[in-house]
Structure 1
Amino acid sequence: MHQNPQQPYPRQPHPGQPYGQQYPPTVIVQKKGNGCLKAVLGGAAVLMVLIVIGVLLGGGDDSQVSLTDGTGETAQAAKPRTSRPSREAPPPGLGDVVKDGKFAFKVTKVEKGLSQVGEGLTAHKAQGQYVLVHLTVKNIGDEAQTFSDYAQKLIDTKGRTFDADTGAAIWLQDSNAFLEKINPGNSVKGFLLFDVPKNLAIKAVELHDSAWSGGVTVSLR
């Protein structure tokens, strides 16, 4: 019998397989996209590792940390509140008790614009105007201390200082400002007399335990 040349040779049967029965062709199925998925997952894992390392390395520096408010906007970390500077206490003034060395002082009144003090032979005319600073001086030390007006200063708004007029004050009754010795626990009332220019803008008086003490300032404004 003549065989058609176009007809392929019959497949030889597999041992144990009946003659004429053929295996179905082997189909190799290749899943598409597995390579891409693995690449994406691998990249995400590397990215997460880098983020964790960055957080660990930068966690100690609070200035580099930013927050996200959930809307995608970056919010800055809250800055610590700084306390407001407290207001300075006003300087002591009339009626306040201040201390310097062994003396405690309380200025009670200020008289300005006097052209003359005293009467008759004790009268003194001011070069400008007389200013009288009335005060109480108390010895808070353990031994007698001498109070003298020459250690006290009057201060104007320009920062200039003026000495007391001791020559006029010693002739005035109850001045108690020239070399007055005060025993411990005792106090005296008197005044300081200053001869200053007219229309002087007075700011304060500087009171001293002695000519060498640091002094304390009392506002007269």
Structure 2
Amino acid sequence: MTQHDGPDHGAHNTSRHQQQNPTQWSGQPPYAGGPYPPVPPGPAPKKANWFARHKILTGLCGLAAVVVIATAATASGGASDPAPTTTASHSAAGSADGSAAGGSAAPAKSATSAKPTSAAAEPAKDTAPGIGDPVKSGNLQFTVTKVVRNQAQVGQDFMAQKAQGRFTLVYVTVRNVGNDSETLLDSEQKIKDADNKTYSPDSGAELVMDDNDVWLAQINPGNAVDGILVYDMPVGVQATAIDFSGGLFKDSKTVRLH
């Protein structure tokens, strides 16, 4: 007796056959009717914004913005500094206008009316006494009467004295204006050149000259002697002044020789 399987039995056999041989096409999509449903696809990932995707450019833009703000703040602060000056200028101008209107403002001095500076002033002239002017030191009064320069020798014959350079002869009158006798010391009478170098007299040359009474001359009160002071100076050097002294520790007096 042939057993006839019903419809359910055929379907059950077909399902079991498919489970045993999964590679065989059953005419239905995979996992159809399987024990697990298919997993639905997840949500699409969100796309990052432009700033997140360009971090370097974002940082540079931020730095540039800071620099622009700082520059604008500095410029506005510097522009506000001249304001007090402008205000002061307007105030000064208003004050000047008001003074002019009231008639009490003094007129501005012209630059050309300023007095010349001391640098433009003429140099002071030498006011020291000169030849022929008497000067007093201590109790002695000195007067230069003449100056002779560039003498190669002084004295006569075998008594002649030759100069190492050139002799300068200062003719002088010395008077005692005090109350006591005074000794004229020729060594205290110094001459000077243009470089302010000082020269002492040549006593030996003075002794060989006739009628020369200036070497250790004793002068009583009221008396006077005439003589010649002799100085041996380098060739080409000129005496410009002489300092007279009435004795040791006496203040000297200067006389110009030119």
What residue ranges of structure 2 are gaps of 5+ in the alignment?
A: 1-98, 110-114
Question: Residue 90 of structure 1 aligns with which residue?
Answer: 127
Aligned residue number for residue 158 of structure 1: 195
Q: Shift of the alpha carbon at 1:76?
A: 7.0
Give the partner amino acid of 2:106: A
Task: Please list the CA deviations of residues 82-127 of structure 1 after superposition, one character each: whole Å capped at 9, or x if unmatched.
Answer: xx99x66711000101100000111010000100001122100000
In 2, distance between residues paired with 1:158 and 1:88?
A: 18
Structure 1: 5+ residue stretches without partners: 1-67
Q: 1:184 Cα deviation (Å)?
A: 0.0
More helix by share: 2
The higher radius of gyration belongs to 2
2:229 to 192, 213, 218: 192
Mapped partners of 2:194, 2:170: distance in 1: 17
TM-score, structure 2 normalization? 0.53
5 Å matches for 1:53-202? 68=99, 74-75=105-106, 90-202=127-239
- Equivalent-residue separation in structure 2 for 1:88 and 1:71 (angstroms): 50
CA drift of 1:74 comes to: 2.8
Deviations 1:180-212 (CA, angstroms, capped at 9, x unpaired): 000000011111000001111321011110132
The CA distance in 1 between the partners of 2:237 and 2:224, in whole Å, is 31
Q: Which piece of structure 1 moves more, 88-97 or 116-125?
A: 88-97
Which structure is higher in strand share? 1
Q: Please say if residues 161 and 208 of structure 2, whose CA atoms lie closer than 8 Å, have aligned partners that are also in contact.
A: no
Letter in 2 for 1:173: D
Question: 1: CA distance between counterparts of 2:182 and 2:101?
Answer: 76
The yes-or-no answer on 1:211 pairing with 2:248 is yes
Deviation >2 Å, runs of 4+: 68-74
Corresponding residue SS for 1:121: helix
* Residues 243 and 255, structure 2, Cα contact 8 Å, conserved in 1: yes
Letter in 1 for 2:216: L
The secondary structure found in structure 2 opposite 1:169 is: helix
TM-score normalized by the length of structure 1? 0.62
Count the aligned residue pairs. Answer: 151
Tell me the secondary structure at the aligned position of residue 225 of structure 2: strand
RMSD: 2.8
CA-CA distance at 1:73 after TM superposition: 7.3
> Aligned residues: percent identity?
36
Distance change in 2, residues 1:91/1:174 (3 Å): same
